[in-house]
Structure 1
């Protein structure tokens, strides 16, 4: 397993903290990688109550992100960011392992 970790941008941490604050029974954002999508793999974002025993926990400015060990293999070295522009608001993963991605921004291949 890679020793590189996933980082969280300040914008992403701020947005995650805002979202979780409005959800009484949720405390973290879970980011996972699933097979499928236009480029082979896709990112999935879910609110979660808390970490599983084998989750990687990333915290910044009161925000918590959970990543399972299998997803971390594909995300090592990535940065989770939150973008607010003319196209809308979304979480984006800046993944150095991805060799291709598609226009939706949630699908990639390695």
Structure 2
């Protein structure tokens, strides 16, 4: 999906686990906010769909992105990784020109 968000199967599996304890119709919301050490950071949370959301579905998992955040995330991939630091959702964003050392914030 060149202009959208790609959700990996590993991320979809984790999203379904996270949403299992939420109210019916809940989805994972991914947004971009100002902050972090390089300018922008991703925010993840459970939410219900809004009329202007971009909706991405993968293997039954639903991800919601507001149109402004989508401008910063177009062409990105959402994955779920587990490493020595811990487990987290990770966005690989081709629009990012720089990332902080820990990978939680970015600039465009």
Normalised to the residue count of structure 1, the TM-score between the two structures is 0.91
**Residue 51, structure 1, aligned to residue 49, structure 2:** yes
**SS in structure 1 of the partner of residue 14 of structure 2:** helix
Aligned to 1:108: 106
Is contact 1:26–1:47 with CA below 8 Å preserved after alignment? no
Q: Shift of the alpha carbon at 1:26?
A: 6.0
Unaligned runs of 5+ in 2: none
Aligned to 1:31: 30
Matches within 5 A, 1:3-22: 4-22=3-21
**Residue 93, structure 1, aligned to residue 64, structure 2:** no
- Equivalenced residue count is 107
Provide the alpha-carbon RMSD of the alignment.
1.3
Q: Shift of the alpha carbon at 1:85?
A: 1.6
Is contact 1:31–1:65 with CA below 8 Å preserved after alignment? yes
Cα distance between partner residues in 2 of 1:46 and 1:27: 10
Unaligned runs of 5+ in 1: none
Normalised to the residue count of structure 2, the TM-score between the two structures is 0.93
